A and B are shown apart, each in its own frame.
Chain A
Amino acid sequence: MTAPRPSPQESLGDLTELPTVTFGHRSLMWWGTLGFMVIEGWTLALIAAMYFYVRQNFLDWPPMRTPLPSLPIPTIGLAVMLVSIVPQILADRASRRLDLGGVKLWLLISSLISLVIPVLRWYELWSLNVRWDSNAYGSAAWLLVATHATLLLLDVSDTVGITLFYWFRRMPIKAMSDVADNSFYWYFMALIWVPIYLIVYVGPYVF
C-alpha cells in the first residue's frame, strides 16, 4: 500500500460529538429493513396480480366443484395478527426511551402472541378447502398465503430471537435500535396480511 495523501490538509469540523446510536430513518438498519419490505411487498403484490390473471381463465371463482374457503379460522388469525401490533408498538416506544424493563416485557408478550400465529396459519392454509395441485385457483391461493407465511416465519424467529437475547444476555445499548426496527418490520408483515386475507378468503365470496 502506498502512503496516505500529502498533507497539510484542512479539517472543516469534528464529528466526535455526533451520536453513535439513532432510531428510525436516521439509522442504517431502518433503511435496510425498508428495502426488504419493498422487495417483499412487491413480491406479494406480483403474486396477487397473477392470482387475478389466473382468475380470467375461469367462469366461476372458485372453479366448479371447488368449495369456498372457510372463514372462521382465517378471521381469528387476522384478528390476532392485528392485535399483535399493539405490544410491538409498546416495545418500539420502550426501546426509544431506553427502558430495558419495558422492552423485555413487551418483547415477551409480542413473542408469545407471534408464536400462536404460525400455528393458526397452518389451519388457515387448510381453510382454503382446496389443494395447491387441484387447479390453478388452488395454486394461486396457496402461493399467496404460503409466501406470506414464509416471510412471517422469519419475522417470528427474529422477534423470538431478540426476546431470548434480551432475557438471557446483557444486550448492548445499540440493540435498542434493532428492537425498534424489528417492530417496524412487524407492522408491515401484519398490515400487508389485511389485503391478502381479503383477496384470498373474502374475495371468492364476492367475485
Chain B
Amino acid sequence: MTDPIRRLPPNESAVAAPGVLPGARPTTLSDEVVLADAAALELTWADKPGLWGWLTAVDHKTIAKRYIFTAFLMFIAGGIEAALMRMQLSRPENTLIGPDRYNQLFTVHGTTMMFLFAVPIMTAMGLYFVPLMVGARSIAFPRLNAFGYYTYLMGVLFMYVSLFINMGPDAGWTSYPPLSGPQFSPGHRIDVWAQVVTFTEIAALAAAVNIIVTTFKMRAPGMSLNRIPLFVWAQVTVAFMIIFAMPAVATASTLQLASDRAVGTHWFNPSEGGDALLWQHIFWFFGHPEVYIIFLPALGFITSIVETFSRRRVFGYTAIVLANITTGFFAFGLWVHHMFATPIPELGQSLFTAASMVIAVPTGVQIFCWLVTMFSGRPRLTTAMLFILGFFFTFVNGGLTGVMLASVAFDKQVHDTFFVVAHFHYVLLGGGVMPLFAAFYFWFPKVTGRMLSETLGRWHAWLFIVGINVAFFPMHFLGLNGMPRRVYTYLAETGWGPLNELATIGAVIAVLGVAVFIVNAAISWRGGLFAGANPWDSYGLEWATPSPAPSYNFVNTPVVLGRHPLWDTGSPLPVVTGLRTDRREVLVTTTFDAQPDSRHKHPTGSIWPLVLALVMAELWIGSIFTPWAVLGGLGLTLLGMLGWGLQSVREQDVERVDTGAEIVEAA
C-alpha cells in the first residue's frame, strides 16, 4: 500500500519541535540501548505472576480489560433479559412470563444496560486507551483505578445474585417514588437497586478523576491542548460530566431513597413535606447527561475510525472539540423534558423544549464534519466502517424522533409508550453500541495482537444493524397506536400482535449478530492473524508501540509534533529519554503546553484496592438490612485506608525535591 501521508493536506498544527527541553541536543539511540531498556522496564512494570499477582494487578490495561470483559458479559445478560421480554410480547396474552417476573426483567435489563454495561464499558475504553494515546507509561492513579473496578464488580455480583434469589429490583430503572418508596415496595428489591447504583457511581467517579488527571498532567511532550486526540477530548468531556452528574444520582438513591426506606426520612413523602417530584428532578439531572456520557465516548471512537479509514485528517478538529464541550454543557439543561407529563410551569416547558432541540445542533456539526471527512477522503469499507455507517443511519433516526419528543404536545401523546422505547433504543444502540462494535474491530488488534476476522465481522455488522432496525422500527407505530411500555402482555383486540411479532424477529436477528461476534472474538483471540504495531496505518500514539502494548506502554516517551503523530512524523517517533527503568516512574508535564515538568514515582501492585472495595461492599449491602452496618463499615474503611497508606509510605528512595525555591536531593 502507498504511504497515506503523501496525499494528506498540510497540517497547519504541525510545527517544528517547540524546544522540548531547552538546550538539549538530539542524539541517536542504538538498538542495544532500547532493547536493554525494554527488558529492564518489563521487570519493573509487569504485574506479579500467579494468583497474588492477579489480585494485586494495577496495570491500567489489565484493569481495563477486566472492565471491558465484565461489562460485555453484562451486555449479554441484559440482552438475554431483553430477548425474554421480546418472547413474552411476541403474541397477545402470552403466558411465558408472569407480571412479577416481567417487572424484575425490565428493571434489571434497564439497570444493567445503563449502569453495568454502557457507562462502565465506555469509561473502560478510556482507561485502556487514554494513557496510550497521550503517550504515558500508566494512568494517574492505578490503585484508585483497581479500586473502581472492584467496586463495580461488587455491584454486578450483588445485582445478579439478588435477581436469582427473586430479590431483583422491580420498579423500573428510574425507580420513581412513591412506587419505590417504603409504602408500595416493601422488602429489599428496591434497596438492591439503590445500592447497585451507588457501586457503579463510585466506580465511574474514580475513572473520571483518573482520566482527567492523566490527560491534564501526563501527556507526551509537545501534545499541547490543541493536539489532544479527539478520542481523548471526548473522554475528558465525559469525565467532567460524570463528576457533575453522578453525585446527583448517588445522593438520590443512597442518601435519600435508601434512607427513606431504612431510617424513615421523608424526602419523598408528601404527607410530611417531602416531594415525589423532587426524585424525578434529581434523577433526570443525572439521567439525561447519562445518555451523553454513553454517547460522547462513541463520538471519539468514530473520529479515530473515520480518519484512519478515510485516510485523511478529520475536517473541523476545533469545531468537533467545541461541539463536544457544548454538548456536555447542554446535556445538563434538558432534564425536565423527561417530566413533561408532570405539572411544570409553561415557561419551563418552553425553555426545556428549546434546549432539547438546540442540543441537536452540536451533534449535527460533528456528523457533518465526519461526512465531509469521508467524502473528501478515500474511504475503505472495513467492518469498523460498516458499523459507523450503521451508526449514521440508526442514530440519525433516533435523533430525529428525539427532536419530535422535545415538543410538549407530542410528548404528552406518546409519553410512556413504545414510541419512547423505540426512540431511546435507536439512540443508544445506534449512538453507543454500533460505534462500540466498530471500536472493537478497530482496537482489538492493539489489545490482543491479533486481527478479528473481517468476513465474520461483515456478517456480524449486517445481522446486527438489520436486526436492530427490524426490532425497533415497528415500535414507533406500536407507540403511536397506544401500546404502553412496561406491560407484560396485551389483548388480541388491540391489534398490536403482528408488529410485536416482527419486533421479536428483529431481536432474534440481532442476537445472531452478537453470537457471530462472540465466535469471532473467541477464535481470533488466539488464532487471528498477527496484527503488528499498526495494522490500519493509523496515526495515534497507541499505534506507535507493539501490539499488545507492553506493561510500560512505551520504551521511551514519544515527542508529539502534530495532531497526527505517526502521519506527521512517520515511524519511529522522536522521543525523550531519562525516566528511570529500575523503578516505576511517569513523566508529568504542564497542563497547557505539555512541557516536561517532573518525574513522578508511581505506585506498585497492591491488594488494598480489593480489600477496600470488599469493605465498602459490606457497608452498602449491610446497610440494607441494618443501619448499624454503616458504622461497622466506616470503621473497617478506616482500617483499609490505614493499610493502603502504610504500603504507600514503606518505599524509601532518594528523591529530587523541587520546593519551589531550590532542588534538594533527599530520602
Contacts and interface: CB of A to CB of B under 8 A. Distances in A.
Nearest to A131: B264
B571 A5 contact: yes
Interface in A1-40: 1-23, 25-28, 31-32, 35-36, 38-39
Nearest to B21: A13
A10 B546 contact: no
Contacts of A68: none
Contacts of A3: 35, 546
B20 A14 contact: no
Given A132-B263, A147-B255, A7 B656 contact: no
A77 to B, nearest CB: 20
Contact of B281 (A42, A53, A140): A53
A54 B273 contact: yes
A140 B20 CA distance: 54
Contacts of A35: 208-209, 212-213, 243
Interface in B623-664: 634, 638, 641-642, 645-646, 649, 651-653, 655-660, 663-664
B24 interface: yes
B28 A10 contact: yes
Interface stretch (A107-115, A171-179, A196-204): A171-179
Q: Chain B, interface size: which category?
A: 35 or more
A53 B268 CA distance: 12
Interface string A43-63: 100110010011001100001
A128 to B, nearest CB: 13
Interface string B506-535: 000000000000000000000000001100
A133 B208 CA distance: 35
A170 B259 CA distance: 44
B559 A12 contact: yes
B275 A57 contact: yes
A13 B221 CA distance: 10
Contacts of B532: 2
Interface stretch (B5-13, B61-69, B409-417, B574-582): B574-582
B666 A173 contact: yes
A167 interface: no
A126 interface: no
A75 interface: no
A70 interface: no
B574 A10 contact: yes
A16 B24 CA distance: 12
B123 interface: no
A32 B209 contact: yes
A22 B26 contact: no
A201 to B, nearest CB: 19
B547 interface: yes
Nearest to A57: B273
A21 B248 CA distance: 36
Nearest to B32: A7
B267 interface: yes
B385 to A, nearest CB: 26
Nearest to A97: B659
Interface in B250-285: 250-251, 255-256, 259, 263-267, 269-270, 272-275, 278, 281-282
Contact of A136 (B209, B248, B274, B664): B274
B597 A26 contact: yes
A139 interface: yes
B546 A15 contact: no
B26 A50 contact: no
A23 B571 CA distance: 36
A129 interface: no
Nearest to A45: B247
B634 A46 contact: no
B550 interface: yes
Contacts of B244: 42
B28 A36 contact: no
B319 interface: no
B38 interface: yes
Contacts of A165: 645-646, 649
A98 B144 CA distance: 27
Interface string B18-29: 001100101111
A6 B651 CA distance: 35
Nearest to B38: A4
A139 B24 contact: no
B655 A21 contact: yes
Given A19-B663, A98-B659, A172-B667, A43 B596 contact: no
B545 A169 contact: no
B29 A19 contact: no
B545 A5 contact: yes
Nearest to A170: B652
A20 B572 contact: no
A96 B31 contact: no
B118 interface: no
Interface stretch (B90-98, B467-475, B598-606): B598-606
Nearest to A6: B572
Task: Name the residue in B42, B267, B600, B667 with the highest tally of chain A Cβ atoms < 10 Å from its Cβ.
Answer: B600
A14 B578 CA distance: 5
Contacts of A4: 34-35, 38, 546, 550, 555
A11 B209 contact: no
B26 A12 contact: yes
B649 A171 contact: yes
Interface in B530-585: 532-533, 544-548, 550, 555-557, 559, 571-579, 585
Given A22-B658, A54-B275, 4 more contacts: A2-B547, A13-B578, A132-B265, A170-B652
Top 6 A-B pairs, shortest CB-CB distance: A13-B21, A15-B578, A19-B658, A136-B273, A13-B24, A133-B264
12 contacts: A3-B35, A4-B34, A6-B572, A10-B28, A11-B577, A14-B24, A22-B598, A58-B273, A133-B263, A136-B269, A161-B642, A174-B653
